[in-house]
Structure 1
């Protein structure tokens, strides 16, 4: 069996001496969509930020491809093919989409000669980008900004994508229009996706596996079909 793309053992992460994640162990396997659900404040976003290197961890271990990572560096994670779509999109509102993408490709050390093909590939997945590519991100709707955020994460052709609450502020139809192309891409490329999402009903439709986080502790691992009953879900929250 192939090594997990990302894995933790007894992970401890906190702020100001207060643990948010405590003894948290999980694995993201190759070629799967793993959905992480839980109540607000359970530690879901903290986990994604820790895995990408935006928050230091205080205890336990983090592995990438079975290699132990010490202090996690976001640039090193990106170079290894791990990308993050942050909660709230994180776009630079004063930059055009074109400027944002050029900056992202420069930051990711994508060779200049490869950049046109890389842009074309991203736009083949998210064709709506073409319609507002020259606009400033601050003039875009919430849905358009989310497309920019996902497109930016795709520029490195990731083998692993961390998606943090992509449905926030989006109409259900627009969320579906974003989610299903990503699922198709994941199937065709073998990419792994760790999806944190409050819109559980839609997230379960594309997930291969589900883990449930409660107050910083993993309380259940299940297949999506096992959680199709709303009553079962409510018990876990």
Structure 2
């Protein structure tokens, strides 16, 4: 990343918490433009809270957030308009709807219809073609991996330039996680997307990441490239 390029998404001096309990304070963060940054850390380190704060789903008590260098107060609808998509932990698909209806609902909410809606749908089905196999099934009958594909596919319908992924590997076998992330990595490299990937499954996640950051108890304790942490023992020592 050149020094003149503003990060895709950044925070300076951020503070956030729940019910008076601080999760992080004076926290600085930057997602480089056009890269996949994998954020790892123990449960409760503050990773998911950071994602929610960056997308405007959780308020910050201090600090500033910038989108491509521009100061803003995040709100989900505004972030979505600005090309930011967020895939929450736990998939969040509507179990009673068939997959086609979930996509239609996402397109309607993004005010996309007609030929453009069809084009967007086709784009996503080219990236994640396995979705075609369960296109007319209710989401509640799908496996965890299939639901995760639907959740990510729904986010991609908006053609995001920034994608926030919160623990997409939860409940997935390593092979299923690879099937999900490999095409997303290929799309990211082709379009120059910026992706913040929060993960516990470090081996699989590092394989699709450009940079790695380690968070512990609300602090960033390491930033580097995946090869820096190829020694698993070194990574474990940080926790």
TM-score, normalized by the shorter chain, greater than 0.5? yes
State the TM-score, normalizing by the size of structure 2: 0.97
In structure 2, distance between residues paired with 1:58 and 1:109: 32
Instruction: Give, in angstroms, the shift of residue 146 of structure 1.
Output: 0.4
User: What do residues 11-47 of structure 1 show as CA deviations (whole Å, max 9, x unaligned)?
Assistant: 0010011111211101111110001000011011111
In structure 2, distance between residues paired with 1:21 and 1:155: 32
In structure 1, distance between residues paired with 2:114 and 2:61: 38
Runs of 4+ in 1 over 3 A off after TM superposition: none
Matched position secondary structure for 2:207: helix
Instruction: Tell me which residue corresponds to 1:25.
Output: 28
Q: How does 1:51-66 map to 2 (within 5 A)?
A: 51-66=54-69
In structure 1, distance between residues paired with 2:155 and 2:72: 22
1:228 aligned onto 2:223: no
CA-based RMSD of the aligned residues comes to: 0.9
Structure 2 stretches of 5 or more lacking a match? none
Does the CA-based 8 Å contact 1:75-1:108 persist in structure 2?
no
In structure 2, distance between residues paired with 1:21 and 1:88: 23
In structure 2, distance between residues paired with 1:199 and 1:16: 30
Q: How does 1:158-197 map to 2 (within 5 A)?
A: 158-197=160-199
User: What do residues 79-121 of structure 1 show as CA deviations (whole Å, max 9, x unaligned)?
Assistant: 1110011100011111111111111111112243300000000
Structure 1 stretches of 5 or more lacking a match? none
Does the CA-based 8 Å contact 1:82-1:158 persist in structure 2?
yes
Match for 1:9 among 2, 8, 12? 12
Instruction: Give, in angstroms, the shift of residue 69 of structure 1.
Output: 1.3
